[in-house]
Chain A
Amino acid sequence: KAGVTQTPRYLIKTRGQQVTLSCSPISGHRSVSWYQQTPGQGLQFLFEYFSETQRNKGNFPGRFSGRQFSNSRSEMNVSTLELGDSALYLCASSLPANTEAFFGQGTRLTVV
């Protein structure tokens, strides 16, 4: 069974640009969550999608958004990038009961 797949693995963007990251969950998993990981702040929850609906949301500005498609694949978008958005963005998928969450390898975003 394939794991959670995130693309791309690495990305370099300049300030002010926008970026879209993609996550394909484990087959059969309908819940997808996104996290931002930085050395200073640790793992911070961004949002969770289930059946194409945002079910939970963390404390991030509106520049961070996401969506989920009917096949459970999810994308997150960050607009008007700032230097502080440089981080490892992790996606995790789980079954509808949302017990064990399985992570992808992450997308390393660098904003210059």
Chain B
Amino acid sequence: GQQLNQSPQSMFIQEGEDVSMNCTSSSIFNTWLWYKQDPGEGPVLLIALYKAGELTSNGRLTAQFGITRKDSFLNISASIPSDVGIYFCAGLTGANNLFFGTGTRLTVIP
């Protein structure tokens, strides 16, 4: 399968700080998705991006679909304790295959 390199692997930040994580691939994707997963639960869709260069916000979350279609980033502003969890990027190919990044584990220190 295709490799999605997600970084950083983990982050420890103070409450109120901004967070940035990104995902890169050697392959082109038609759609980029960002998910958050809490322990023992399924991933929850946060943001979907459909066009190269697209910048989309969902509350304190902002994500961008890279111009080359091979990367995407997610920013979280003014982090709060409930932002804790694992964030996954996912890329969807034209053949309807969804590939996931390795995840970024976020810890927010109150």
Contacts and interface: CB of A to CB of B under 8 A. Distances in A.
Contacts of B102: 42
B98 A102 contact: no
A48 interface: yes
A56 B96 contact: yes
Contacts of A33: 98
B42 A101 contact: no
Interface residues of B, number: 23
A104 interface: yes
B96 A105 contact: no
Contact of A42 (B42, B95, B103): B103
B97 A42 contact: no
A20 to B, nearest CB: 19
Contacts of B100: 35, 42-43
A106 B42 CA distance: 6
B74 interface: no
A101 B45 CA distance: 8
B31 interface: yes
A37 B50 CA distance: 26
A3 to B, nearest CB: 9
Interface string A91-106: 0100000111111111
A46 B64 CA distance: 28
Contacts of A28: none
